[in-house]
Amino acid sequence: MKKVKVLAVCLGNICRSPAAQGILQRVAQDCSDLVLEVDSAGTAAYHVGSSPDSRSVQALAKVGVDISSQQARQVSIADFDCFDWILAMDNENLSNLRAIQPPGSHAKVVLFGEYCADADFGEVQDPYYGKSNGFNLMRVQLQQIAEDFINTLILSEQGLRR
Ligand code: 4NP
């Protein structure tokens, strides 16, 4: 089975993308049709080396996903060839990624929320400056998007194998 490599990206790599990484890993773990390798990164370097924000860690712990051992890093140019998909959490992340993507590089750079079939989330809002309930909303959105994204990957892999 082909391994698909995905990189979740937000601004600081301490709130949304570590949560997306944990949720994608959990959803893929429960799915026998796909081997997914997941990492996350930030477009900015402010928090390089930091653990995820404690509010993200707590919101994910409520559904049994442990993201506490992740460490923030900044997106690198090598990521555009190393990963099959780079998943931006919001439009600013998307345009920052597209601005540094080397021409002809391998990764598909997309807005993660576009893969949600039933809801029109678009962006996963940044909960960093908001109330703690924002982190629960973020988790619910990410779960829904991750399930639909992984279903899309499975369908496209099956299409390729036929
Ligand atoms: P994230 O959230 O991009 O989801 O990790 C943020 C984290 C830190 C900051 C902004 C957003 N900051 O300005 O430090």
- pLDDT tens per residue, the chain (162 residues)? 779 999 999 999 999 999 999 999 999 998 888 899 999 999 999 999 999 999 999 999 999 999 999 999 999 999 999 999 999 999 999 999 999 999 999 999 999 999 998 777 789 989 999 887 999 999 999 999 999 999 999 988 777 655
Contact 66, 22 (CB under 8 A): yes
Q: Which two three-digit tokens encode residue 117?
A: 């079939």
Backbone angle region of 160, left / alpha / beta, with phi > 0 → left and psi within -120 to 50 → alpha: alpha
Ligand 1, pocket-test mutation among 128, 135, 137, 139, most atoms within 8 A of CB = 128
Strand segments (E) across 20-145: 35-42, 85-88, 108-111
CB-neighbour burial class of residue 49 (10 A; exposed 0-12, middle 13-18, buried 19+)? exposed
The CB of 46 under 6 Å from ligand 1? The reply is yes
Backbone angle region of 13, left / alpha / beta, with phi > 0 → left and psi within -120 to 50 → alpha: left
| Minimum-distance ligand 1 atom for the alpha carbon of 46 | 14
pLDDT at 21: 98
Ligand 1 centre to CA of 11 (Å) is 5
The string of pLDDT tens digits covering residues 9-29 is 999 999 999 999 999 999 999
Q: Which two three-digit tokens encode residue 142?
A: 């990410």
Ligand 1 centre to CA of 12 (Å) is 4
16 catalytically annotated: yes
- Residue among 39, 53, 90, 126 flagged as catalytic: 126
